[in-house]
A = this chain, B = another copy of it.
Amino acid sequence: MKVTTQLEYGLCCIVALARLQVGDPASASDIAQSEKLPRQYVEKLLCRLKRSGIVRSVRGAKGGYLLARHPSELTVRDICDALDGGAYKLICEEESMRTKRCIPVSADGRCSLRFVWTELGSVINSYLGTVTVDALLSDGSCHTGKETPYQRPCTAGV
């Protein structure tokens, strides 16, 4: 399980956009260049980010992209949702997994595993939802370097 470069790049682009948050739009080429990323791939990502309303675009010469929302209103989760169709995908929702394993297994009353993956998804999304792009701009200042313990809300006897 790991973050895809897609997410990394996408987030990168957003942060870059947020940095040069001035009046006029930044072109895909500008962003690609400043972040040292492949231009056409950046275009593709921005396109998806646009469809999800994370960025706005201005067409034509002098056009480019702009953040659609204020960085403080934009979380890493939003970006993940836009790009990957969510930061986290449940394994049980894959066709092959459902037909080959989960259905027969849960007919057995057995798929006790699912809840771990579901809950893990919640934990991930929930965390990513707390990180705003704004926070990413103030470089490193929020990076404690220390453990971030998971605090189970209500463990036993639920």
Contacts and interface: CB of A to CB of B under 8 A. Distances in A.
Copies in the complex: 2
A2 B88 contact: yes
Interface residues of A, number: 64
A121 B54 CA distance: 25
Nearest to A100: B36
Interface in A72-126: 76, 84, 87-91, 97, 100-101, 104-105, 109-110, 112-120, 122-124, 126
Interface in A35-61: 35-37
Which has the most chain B C-beta neighbours within 10 Å: A37, A100, A117, A154?
Answer: A117
Interface in A114-158: 114-120, 122-124, 126-131, 136-144, 147-155, 158
B139 A110 contact: yes
A120 B112 contact: no
13 contacts: A1-B124, A11-B113, A15-B112, A15-B113, A36-B105, A112-B140, A120-B127, A122-B148, A122-B149, A123-B124, A124-B124, A142-B158, A151-B151
